[in-house]
Amino acid sequence: MRTAVPRLLRRSVRCSSSLSFLQQPKAAAAPAAPRALQRIQFRSLSSTARLRSSENDPEQQLQQRQWSTPLAKQLAEAISATGPVPLASFMRMCLTSDVGGYYTGAITESEGRDQFGLKGDFVTSPEISQIFGELIGIWFVTEWLAQGRQSKGVELIEVGPGRGTLMDDMLRTIQNFPAMANAIDAIYMVEASPSLRMTQKNLLCGTDAPMTESKVGYHSVCKYGGLPIVWTETIKSIPPSPEKMPFIVAHEFFDALPIHAFQCVDVPPSSSPNNPSPSAAPSTSTSATPSDSTKTTGPTLQWRELLVSPTPPGSTHESLHTPASQSRDTPAPDFQLTLAQAPTRHSLYLPESSARYRSIKKQVGDGALIEICPDAALYATDFASRIGGSPQFPKAKPSGAALILDYGPGDGTVPTNSLRGIRRHRRVSPFAEPGLTDLSADVDFAGIAEAACRASEGIEIHGPVDQGTFLEVMGIRERAQQLIQAASTTTTTTTKEGTTAAEVVEKAWQRLVDKSPNGMGKVYKALAILPENDGRRRPVGFGGDVVA
């Protein structure tokens, strides 16, 4: 695995009095742009806000202040009680909180729409073209063939299934391979959003199909082959079973998982406390390991966590220096990032947990920024144990596969400064209108690979490879030709804009494989977790051939 240092991190940055994500403006995002392409390269975090001491009566200010959403008020109240919170806690609340999280109520209830498509905030590959899901279905068929065509015990698991379109396209395709279709025992959908769960049920089971609740989750019966479908809120609720062959897909799921952000700072010896400060300590934490900053004479390098705190009352986009590249159509951000003045339990533990992070501290030093996603490691650990077995759940014969498609560095570098807010296809501040703003961050593919390999000796990793290469090898061009042919012979339908159905298919597949620097074929990557086979067989799309 490579541990190259990101280009951005080579520049040294320093703390000063106010913080903003400074960005280099690029062309405005086109309508219905995928989330990854909303990314505008960040400059390094050049300055950080000092936590303001409370002014006059903070409690009164909190109550009187106009917060942009009910969730913003709730977050501010929580922060006034606990002190600034880790970015991961903020993201988790914004995305999946019961009180108006982005995926758990705010969007559908207040706006009568969902997150996807032209009316929504962003568009994803399965929503762009049916071929995407079809080829992923085929990929799992090739794995099933290569792994001995097991006649039962196959499980299809999707994490973060959105509208259910990807699973629908996969299942329709797998029906063309009856022996595999008959081997499927159950389908599991890991979904945090109650309304998207219902959308998925309607698509995969029909609007009339009943949904029942059990201790595990929600159940219904799929229109394809009458297969049972189970919805759970986390992957942990899916019972592990060593006889099963799990086929797991995660598309644009990992980018929605909460991240912690850290900055490396040079601490003068007199003020280099090594104990987490209670005020900065996060409420949920893992046990700390001592950092290497004690008993030294010169300045020492320490990781410090970037925490979220409210912006000063009366802040404006101007006073907060909201970057020009971010739309200012939103109210001024309610929150901002602040650099913890002392180590937190997370800052002592997480950045010391991998040689990749430690080498950044050594090579880049003061000013280095990194993002770490512990939830991504948990999911990778789970996928790997299901496929390859683990000390806790031994598996006699590793089987199954996981395919992770998302955006993030494909060269082993650690993501940095990648948090973004998206609203109605435009970049906005990630701290504006919490709950109404989609938040996402680059995926650390190397971190996922590392966690998976650590969890199970029975797996191996392939990729990441560019989405464009993956889809082309899987046959996107050929499948598009079939659809174009069918569209031109069977229909003369044109869209309002006068585009023919064939042209729509053509444009869609070209978009998915576009390998220009900001093209989806380049920005999105695919990574596979397979049963360990000493590297003797590569999966299709990752340099291997179909094994029948």
Of 444 and 460, which has the nearer Cβ to ligand SAH?
Answer: 444
Rounded to a whole number, what is the largest CA-CA distance in the chain?
Answer: 79
CB of 232 to ligand SAH, least distance (A): 9
CB of 162 to ligand SAH, least distance (A): 3
CB of 194 to ligand SAH, least distance (A): 9
Of 127 and 382, which has the nearer Cβ to ligand SAH?
Answer: 127
CB of 230 to ligand SAH, least distance (A): 14
Rounded to whole angstroms, the Cα distance separating 450 from 165 reads 30
- Whether a cis peptide bond, with omega within 30° of 0, leads into 464 is yes
Of 187 and 267, which has the nearer Cβ to ligand SAH?
Answer: 187
Residues 6+ apart with CB under 8 A from 338: 19, 48, 49, 50, 51, 84, 306, 307, 308, 309
Rounded to whole angstroms, the Cα distance separating 400 from 263 reads 38
Asked if 171 and 224 touch (Cβ cutoff 8 Å), the reply is yes
Of 103 and 247, which has the nearer Cβ to ligand SAH?
Answer: 103
CB of 336 to ligand SAH, least distance (A): 24
Asked if 80 and 54 touch (Cβ cutoff 8 Å), the reply is no
Of 130 and 302, which has the nearer Cβ to ligand SAH?
Answer: 130
Residues 6+ apart with CB under 8 A from 60: none
Asked if 421 and 427 touch (Cβ cutoff 8 Å), the reply is yes
CB of 135 to ligand SAH, least distance (A): 14
CB of 119 to ligand SAH, least distance (A): 15
CB of 195 to ligand SAH, least distance (A): 9
Rounded to whole angstroms, the Cα distance separating 181 from 140 reads 11
Residue in 339, 419, 429 with CA at minimum distance from that of residue 372: 419
Asked if 223 and 239 touch (Cβ cutoff 8 Å), the reply is no
Of 68 and 124, which has the nearer Cβ to ligand SAH?
Answer: 124
CB of 357 to ligand SAH, least distance (A): 23
Of 256 and 523, which has the nearer Cβ to ligand SAH?
Answer: 256
CB of 475 to ligand SAH, least distance (A): 20
Rounded to whole angstroms, the Cα distance separating 468 from 472 reads 6
CB of 103 to ligand SAH, least distance (A): 4
Residues 6+ apart with CB under 8 A from 497: none
* Three state DSSP letters for 298-317: CCEEEEEEEEEEECCCCCCH
Of 159 and 453, which has the nearer Cβ to ligand SAH?
Answer: 159
Residue in 506, 499, 514 with CA at minimum distance from that of residue 484: 506
| DSSP helix/strand/coil, 137 | helix
CB of 101 to ligand SAH, least distance (A): 9
Residue type, 29: A
- Which ranges constitute the DSSP H helices of 147-216? 165-174, 178-183, 194-205
Residue in 72, 126, 63, 77 with CA at minimum distance from that of residue 102: 72
Of 131 and 256, which has the nearer Cβ to ligand SAH?
Answer: 256
Of 171 and 369, which has the nearer Cβ to ligand SAH?
Answer: 171
Residue type, 488: S
Q: Residues interacting with ligand SAH, by CB under 6 A? A: 95-96, 103, 124, 126-127, 160-162, 166, 190-193, 196, 251-253, 256
- List the beta bridge partners of residue 494: 500
Residue type, 49: A
Of 217 and 400, which has the nearer Cβ to ligand SAH?
Answer: 217
Of 21 and 103, which has the nearer Cβ to ligand SAH?
Answer: 103
- H-run or E-run covering 86: strand 85-86
Rounded to whole angstroms, the Cα distance separating 97 from 104 reads 6
